[in-house]
Amino acid sequence: MDPEDHLCKFRNAALLHQYSDAVKCRVFLNTLSGSAQKWFDRLPHESINYFSDFKTAFLRHFASSRKYQKTDHCLFTLKQGPSEPLRSYIKRFNQVVHDVPSATSEILMSILSHGLTEGEFFRDLIRNPMKSFDKMLEKAASYINVEEAQAA
């Protein structure tokens, strides 16, 4: 369990239901299970006075459970395989991109094009550079359609 994800989901529910601070503490307690519940049971009596106390203690205790935040450097390892279809490469690339929120459109365009095998799409990107990552994906879609039509 990523404590940040857990808190984010709880905050959304608390906002929707407009919980007071005291209610947030009681309701948050009910979202805990397993080791988190055991952790709470071992807290000193009356050590939590406000939800901010609860949040701070929870995040501090479960800091080691946080998801590793990937950086754009991990994207540089993505390469299209020699016989890998463009659709497969784009899908794999986009799955990794979801874990890298800091990557800008310019970085994504550069990394995606550098990972491509030489082919029509690669050559077209060199001849006609795209202005945004979304436009690059639109162009890739048209090449995917041609690639799949040729394979059929």
For the chain, 152 residues long, the average pLDDT of each consecutive 10-residue run is: 83 90 87 86 86 87 70 84 94 88 88 93 94 94 92 83
- What domains can be seen in the chain, in order of their start residue? 3-65 (no CATH), 72-151 (1.10.1200.30)
* Residue linked to tokens 């874990």: 99
User: Tens digit of pLDDT for each residue in 74-111?
Assistant: 788 899 999 999 999 999 999 888 888 788 899 999 99
Instruction: Provide the CB-side half-sphere exposure for 29 (13 A, CA).
Output: 13
**Structure tokens, 58:** 């929870």
Please choose, from the candidates 11, 89, 98, 88, the residue with its C-alpha nearest in 3D space to the C-alpha of residue 51.
11
Q: How far apart are CA 41 and CA 47, in angstroms?
A: 11
Residues in CB range of 82: below 8 A, 6 or more apart: 117
Read off the pTM.
0.57
